[in-house]
Structure 1
Amino acid sequence: MGVRTWIDSWPVYRQLKGTDPLGLGAAVRSGRSARLAPRVATADRIVKSVCPYCAVGCGQNVYVEDGRVTQIEGDPDSPVSRGRLCPKGAASLQLTTGGAREHHVLHRRPHGTAWERLDLDTAMDMIADRVIEARRAGWQWEVDQARTRRTMGIASLGGATLDNEENYLIKKLFTALGAVQIENQARI
């Protein structure tokens, strides 16, 4: 490559000598950048979602290709975040495709040092048994001669990004179980 060809290919020279003095278009475009395509160009569909990390509830566009999540970006239509995501939200693709993601139920017994794999039915039965036992052990029919019909043995702390319908169902479930400590992470 000769000196003249090298200088002509230099973006600053093209910016100063061409029709793009601010360097916002053709002056800064190289052959390589002209060949680049967006990562989301091959997506089959876009699914609207909400970031799962905090109580803000930033909107996300989830790009899906062949039934697999390929990219997650901020949703410009979201009135909450207007297309922006914090570093954790921008890295939320790892939740679906990251190598450290667990795909099985793991359980560590009390005082145990190792995790063991359980099938889902066994894990759900263990949770149900523990809820029933905690409810039974903490049940109060009355306190100071006032009828209470409640349990102090279980509580609920909901996630910040659950929608109204999910929170409604969780509230109904724990109220039916007799729990009085029903809180949501969004308010903490």
Structure 2
Amino acid sequence: MGRFSMLEWPVVRQFRSGDYLGRGPAATSAKTRDVQPRTATADRVVRSVCPYCAVGCGQRVYVKDEKIVQIEGDPDSPISRGRLCPKGAASEQLVNSPGRQTEVLYRPPRATEWQRLDRDTAIDMIADRFLRTRRNTWQDLDEKGRKLRRTMGIASLGGATLDNEENYLIKKLFTAAGAIQIENQARI
């Protein structure tokens, strides 16, 4: 740190520069003027959509050395016009959080510890259970012989982070599988 100079006091800077209200360059120190935003040093900018709700606010994701350094609202987005809610503005913290879960964890029945699984194994387990449940709970006819073609063993509760297209496809998938209990958090 350099020697202290009374000429660098903000009030002195105000009068020396003619910025009497202290709203211009007199209000900033040399250190403040040297600070650059994280976005200035980014290697590239990627456009994305906020992951939190079904609104679909546009985001600009700033990447440096293949690591996300900042996420801001996309002013070119017709939905949000550059604005983000508090959760959307904190997206960078979600991505870079040291506590973020990046592996599939599975706890078998009556086990006390979690096991790590590779993604393909987890997807196969889910598909096997889905098909087995559908097969074991299938109702083709009711007691009077009327056609049902349904299963009461499978239900779907969608989240509000899904957009209309994703919800449409999930509805089609579960309806084709015979499920009739299909709901979405956004409607509740």
Compute the TM-score of the two structures, normalised by the length of structure 1.
0.81
1:9 aligns to what? 8
Shift of the alpha carbon at 1:13? 4.5
Q: Does 1:174 align with 2:174?
A: yes
Give the aligned partner of residue 41 of structure 1. Answer: 40
Distance 2:150 2:18 in 1: 76
Tell me if the contact between 1:54 and 1:186 (Cα under 8 Å) persists in the aligned partners: no
> C-alpha distance in 1, partners of 2:47/2:23?
31
SS of 1:20 mapped into structure 2: coil
Report 1:57-68 matches (<5 A).
57-68=56-67
1:41 partner letter: A
Instruction: Report the Cα offset of residue 185 of structure 1.
Output: 2.6
Residues 49, 22 of structure 1: CA spacing in aligned structure 2 closer, same or farther, 3 A cutoff?
farther
Aligned length: 185
1-side partners of 2:16 and 2:157: how far apart? Answer: 62
Deviation track 1:24-76 (CA, whole Å, cap 9, x = no partner) reads 33121210011111111122222222222234443322112233222112233
Question: 1:7-26 deviations in whole A, cap 9, x for unaligned?
Answer: x4233444466443454331
| Unaligned runs of at least 5 residues, structure 1 | none
Contact kept? 1:76, 1:82, Cα under 8 Å: yes
Post-superposition offset of 1:92: 1.9
Aligned partners of 1:152, 1:21: CA distance in 2, in Å? 75
Q: Which runs of 5+ in 2 are unaligned?
A: none
CA gap of 1:41–1:132, structure 2 versus 1, over 3 A, is: same
The residue matched to 1:93 in structure 2 has which SS? Answer: helix
Aligned CA distance change for structure 1 residues 171 and 28 (closer, same or farther; 3 Å): same
Q: Are the structure 2 counterparts of residues 29 and 152 from structure 1 closer, same or farther at C-alpha, using a change threshold of 3 Å?
A: same
Partner of 2:40: helix, strand, or coil?
Answer: coil
Q: TM-score, normalised by structure 2?
A: 0.81
Task: Give aligned-pair identity as a percent.
Answer: 64
Q: CA RMSD in A?
A: 2.5
| Distance in 1 between residues matched to 2:63 and 2:77, nearest whole Å | 19
Asked whether the 8 Å contact 2:54–2:164 carries over to 1, the reply is no
What amino acid sits opposite 1:150 in the alignment? R
| Contact 2:52–2:87 (8 Å) recurs in 1 | yes
Matches of 2:11 and 2:153, distance apart in 1 = 69
Alpha-carbon separation, structure 1, partners of 2:57 and 2:45: 16
Q: Deviations over 1:131-163 (max 9, x none)?
A: 012212322223464422111111222232333
Q: Structure 2 counterpart of 1:119, which letter?
A: D
1:113 equivalent in structure 2: 112
Question: 2:187, 2:90 → 1: CA distance?
Answer: 24
